[in-house]
Amino acid sequence: MTEEETPIQEKSEILIKVEQYIKQLFKEELSDQLLYHSLSHTTEVVEASVSLGFDTGLSDEDQEILELAAWFHDAGYIKKYNGHEAESVEFAKEFLSKEGYPKEKLEKVNSLILSTVLGHQSENLLEELLHDADMSHMGRKRFFRKGELLRVELENYLDKTYTELEWEEHQYNFLVSNSFITAAARSSYERRRVKNIKKQRKNILKARKVTVRTNTGKDFGRGIDTLYRANYRNHINLSAIADGKANMMISINTIMISVIVTLSGASLSLSKGFAVESLRFTIPILILLVGALVSVVFAVLSARPKVTEKDVDLEKVKTDKISLLYFGNFLGVPKEEFVQYLNNLKKDQKRLYDSMSVDIYHLGIVLKEKYRLLSISYNIFVAGLSLTVVAFIVIFFYTNG
């Protein structure tokens, strides 16, 4: 019998009552977040139980027990998610006892419900049939649609999140690790299960391609690449500007120092009277000389290349707290570790961009230090010139007053 066909069966009075009870119970008390384990799933399991029982040739009594267990097997989800089977048994006991259902049959129903626990080994034909009915979605076209509902349900109740690749692999493992036990189920659902396995393998390949594209940043477009490229270029340009300004200060101040030293030495070699006459300008000259010297020192410190070799904590590298793209860091690790680090970056887009961000941050720190030293150099240069002019004017008017 195919999966779309269900035999016409005259339902017993207890089955009619249970059907009405479960439908009303699910409608009133079942959470809307249970997208997979819903009334629709329960109805499908009951229909599969009817079909498989008919194909197997069950007696009316066994068929009734099988269907009752199918109706109640997921009722426990109303109370709890994990361990719902025990709660399902309580629902069955309460209702069937009130209806005067025979105790021996009730125990069989309860035993069947408990057999749906994941990993339970079926011990008799009824348990095998209920197992196959519960797993019948593996051999249906709607398997993939139902799978997405289960995925959302797991996120809602168990806080389990899956990437596309992880979910596709999870579904594939489920299809491969579970199979139909009874001949009736294999006849009805096995062919479609095999097709679903083949389709799931293709889904895994697609998910892997998507994962690779996502991890390597191919889906981001050129905007992100342009952002980082422009940022790196700006840092390089700012560094070049700082070095140019530092070189200018070095040139100006060294020329001034050379001229002052040369002229001062020449003046001392002249007549004694000229030397004494020139000593009144000693203070302005010394101010200018010291100012030029201190200014050129800070300019040299700003332009001086600085390479730091230090031990790097590889644990911080693995957690992306340190980027080995920064030259001051990768000199402290072995070459093999650095090459492996770059290989890992090629496979993981997030780590790649995080490392580039950390690298830009370190470049910013270097630039900050360059411009700080350069600012000090310029400030001292201006202050030295200003004090020199003021001192010269004061001494000139004082001596000629």
Task: Give me the DSSP letters along 169-204.
Answer: HHHHHHHHH----SHHHHHHHHHHHHHHHHHHHHHH
Other beta carbons less than 10 A from residue 266's beta carbon: 9
Name the CA radius of gyration of the chain, rounded.
Answer: 42
d(CA 378, CA 386): 12
Range in 28-32, 153-157, 221-225, 253-257 with the lowest mean pLDDT? 221-225
Residues 129, 178 contacting (CB under 8 angstroms): no
Residues 174, 146 contacting (CB under 8 angstroms): no
Percent of the chain's residues with pLDDT above 70:
83
pLDDT (tens digit per residue) in 32-42: 888 888 899 99
Looking at residue 279, the DSSP 8-state letter turns out to be G
d(CA 139, CA 191): 7
The pLDDT of residue 274: 46
Q: What is the mean pLDDT of residues 195-222?
A: 77
- Long-range contacts from 262-270, C-beta under 8 angstroms, 24+ separation: none
Percent of the chain's residues with pLDDT above 90:
30
The contacts of residue 225 (CB under 8 Å, 6+ apart) are: 217
The pLDDT of residue 121: 84
Q: What is the mean pLDDT of residues 392-400?
A: 80
Residue for token pair 């020139």: 278
pTM of the model: 0.58
Say whether pLDDT at 316 is over 80.
no
- Give me the chain's average pLDDT, please: 83
Q: Provide, for the chain, the percentages of residues in helix, strand and coil under a 3-state DSSP scheme, each rounded to the nearest 5.
A: 80, 0, 20
State the Cα torsion 359-361-364-369 to the nearest 10°. -100
The pLDDT of residue 10: 60
Q: What is the mean pLDDT of residues 320-331?
A: 64
Burial class (CB in 10 A: 0-12, 13-18, 19+), 190: middle
Q: What is the mean pLDDT of residues 287-314?
A: 78
Determine the 3-state secondary structure of 135 from DSSP.
coil
Q: Is the pLDDT higher at 120 or at 308?
A: 120
The contacts of residue 58 (CB under 8 Å, 6+ apart) are: 66, 125, 126, 129
The pLDDT of residue 276: 44
d(CA 141, CA 389): 94
Burial class (CB in 10 A: 0-12, 13-18, 19+), 361: exposed
The contacts of residue 83 (CB under 8 Å, 6+ apart) are: 76
Residues 39, 83 contacting (CB under 8 angstroms): no
Burial class (CB in 10 A: 0-12, 13-18, 19+), 75: buried
Q: Which two tokens stand for residue 23?
A: 């439908």
Torsions phi, psi of 36, nearest 5? -95, -55
Q: Which helix (H) or strand (E) holds 370?
A: helix 349-400
- DSSP-derived secondary structure for 316-343: HHHTTSS-TTSHHHHTTS-HHHHHHHHH
Alpha carbon distances (Å) from 37 to 4, 26, 34, 286: 20, 10, 6, 91
The pLDDT of residue 330: 63
